[in-house]
Amino acid sequence: MNARTSALQYRQTAVSSAVLDASPHRLVSLMLAGIRERLKLASACIEIGDLPRKGQAIGEASMIIGQLDGSLDHAAGGEIADGLAALYDYSQRRLTEANLNNDAVIVQEVDGLIADIEAAWLQIDPERPR
């Protein structure tokens, strides 16, 4: 086993442990961070011309966005859930366009939208000291 394989296994174990121990609020935080990490990777891959890895990163980000969208409780969340659903839908469409056109500007636009959601989400952390 080489160092890279060991590092990847360690990272997977650390992520798995974080997920298993996480509160529902923390899980959403981890998902938002995961989207942003993949979008940054996709943007970098566009810049260096690694298009297969760009496509994988955008696909992974899109999958996480789909999971967040699917977890919205529209009955309890009302207008906020509806607004997030619309934002997630817009983000998915823009990522498809970015993937087709290798457009880092669109990837960065979506990253900005997710960053705004992430910042708002972190503000409502129930474990955050007031």
Whose CA is closest to 102, among 52, 33, 27?
52
Q: How many CA atoms lie within 13 A of 48 on its CB side?
A: 9
Q: In this predicted structure, what is the pLDDT of residue 31? A: 96
Distance, CA of 57 to CA of 43 (rounded, Å): 9
Residue type, 117: I
Q: In this predicted structure, what is the pLDDT of residue 45? A: 98
Q: In this predicted structure, what is the pLDDT of residue 121? A: 94
Instruction: Indicate the burial class of 106 (C-beta count within 10 angstroms; 0-12, 13-18, 19 or more).
Output: buried
Say whether pTM exceeds 0.95. Answer: no
Q: In this predicted structure, what is the pLDDT of residue 22? A: 74
Q: In this predicted structure, what is the pLDDT of residue 76? A: 92
Q: In this predicted structure, what is the pLDDT of residue 20? A: 63
Rounded to 10°, the helix 3-21/24-48 angle is 150
Is there a contact between 111 and 91 (Cβ–Cβ < 8 Å)? no
Ranges of the chain with pLDDT below 50: none
Given CATH 1.20.120.340, say whether it is the number of domain 23-123. yes
Distance, CA of 20 to CA of 10 (rounded, Å): 15
CA 76 to chain centre: 23
Residue type, 35: I
Distance, CA of 10 to CA of 53 (rounded, Å): 21
Q: In this predicted structure, what is the pLDDT of residue 97? A: 98
Q: In this predicted structure, what is the pLDDT of residue 126? A: 76
Q: In this predicted structure, what is the pLDDT of residue 127? A: 75
